[in-house]
Structure 1
Amino acid sequence: MPVIIYKMNASPPARAVLATAEVLGLEIETREVSIPNKEQFKPEYLEKNPLHTVPLLEDGNFILADSHAIIIYLASKYGGDKGASLYPSDIQQRSIIHQRLFLDASILFPRLIAIIKAIAYENAASVDEKKTADVEEAYGFLEKYLESSPFLAGEQLTLADISCVTTVSSLNVVVPIDAKFIKLQEWVNNLKSQSWYVNKNEPGLNDLGGFLNFFLKKNAA
């Protein structure tokens, strides 16, 4: 039985899981969960995931929520040599990857969600100065990390890059990355050229951009 991923393409965390599966060459089954239609609150979904979030992994009887936990699981269980590259066993390298993933979970993604909620539910017609400053600060954190290596956790692509770039590319839709963030722009452009980004991040990124632009125009009218 294949691994099942419950997802919505516009979701950056879901895109991170789909991209990781592609890099690993893992055949997965996907099931769409429409957040706008509140399918995440259906009783059968809540039974599997009380957090009512996407993505969600189902591997036989094993259920796992949170994209960061899911991509670590996929790389560890099914990754083989590629998984060992994305998620090295060296404890210090792994700890750096964890820190970058926690940065995504605790800083990058919450700041994106704050903007999405303001636009979609609070009728904001633009991103206010405080939220813009918060995103710029987050870009600065990443810029600093990238000064010492081409990837977020060292000299090669890891789970940290895959996870963070889905969020950063989404933030870029609403708060464009300023030219002063030279290393960050180089990092994003490098990842944009990779097939997993094109195949698994860009379609959902376009969906999210269309969603946000619709509400921005509506709110400004």
Structure 2
Amino acid sequence: MDFYYLPASAPCRAVEMAAKALGVELNKKQLNLFAGEHLKPAFLKLNPQHTIPTLVDNGFSIWESRAIIIYLAEKYGKNDSLYPKDPKKRAVVNQLLFFDISTIYSAFVNTYVQQYLFKKEVDAEKYKAVDTAFEFLNTFLEGRKYVAGDAYTLADISLIATVSSYEIVNYDISKYANVARWYESVKKSAPGWEENWAGCLEYKKLLGV
């Protein structure tokens, strides 16, 4: 199973953590985006959108990290703990995966990536969106051990990859008691955390923080 990725990327790190939790081996193929390797014809045949992460499983190509981790859980999960079959429980996991990409991850891209990677001045309102996203996550975690309830799911995996990116830019996660509690707990128990953090440190160097 070929996995095209960049270690620093939070979406790529989420796929690595999901694979680790599922016991799936990935044949990792790192792409140098700055050298345009994702624009070469061979890769465009696999993914015409030329994005990472991209997974190729026995000729089947899929991209977008949240789609990839759902695919892996549905095909290779020994049970449904990471991605519940119960419609209501699954809906909550999906909701949080969508929250990740549309709200808290996009807020990171719109602020810290612009500030550090592209050296752009960022409007203060966009930083307020970061605080709002964390306030939402803090509310979601009220009375919950994990983001979707009492069990560790794909939603935790995707969000831990995102939230750990905020740690490397020195965002004060401790302001949000529920998020801080969850984050510290998951760091100690999540399969693949060490690889995720190693990728975070690469990201920190890339951003020049």
Deviation at 1:197, TM superposition (A): 4.2
The corresponding residue for 1:91 is 87
2:97 equivalent to 1:101: yes
Deviation at 1:28, TM superposition (A): 1.9
- The percent identity for this pair of structures is 35
Q: Any conservation in 2 of the 1:6–1:30 contact (CA below 8 Å)?
A: yes
Deviation at 1:132, TM superposition (A): 2.1
Instruction: Using structure 1 for the length normalisation, give the TM-score.
Output: 0.88
Which 4+ residue blocks in structure 1 deviate beyond 4 angstroms? none
What SS class does the counterpart of residue 142 from structure 1 fall into? helix
Structure 1 gaps, min length 5: 217-221
User: Of 111, 114, 119, which residue of structure 2 is paired with 1:117?
Assistant: 114
Deviation at 1:129, TM superposition (A): 2.7
Q: For the residues of structure 2 that align with 1:155 and 1:20, how far apart are their CA atoms?
A: 18
Deviation at 1:30, TM superposition (A): 1.0
**Which amino acid letter does the alignment assign opposite residue 49 of structure 2?**
L
Q: Give CA deviations for 1:90-111 in whole Å, capped at 9, x if unaligned.
A: 0000000000000111112211
What SS class does the counterpart of residue 18 from structure 1 fall into? helix
The corresponding residue for 2:124 is 129
Deviation at 1:23, TM superposition (A): 0.7
From the superposition, tell whether residues 117 and 50 of structure 1 become closer, same or farther in structure 2 (CA, over 3 Å). farther
Structure 1 vs Structure 2 CA RMSD: 1.6
From the superposition, tell whether residues 195 and 103 of structure 1 become closer, same or farther in structure 2 (CA, over 3 Å). closer
What SS class does the counterpart of residue 162 from structure 1 fall into? helix
What SS class does the counterpart of residue 86 from structure 1 fall into? coil
Structure 2 gaps, min length 5: none
**Which amino acid letter does the alignment assign opposite residue 62 of structure 1?**
F
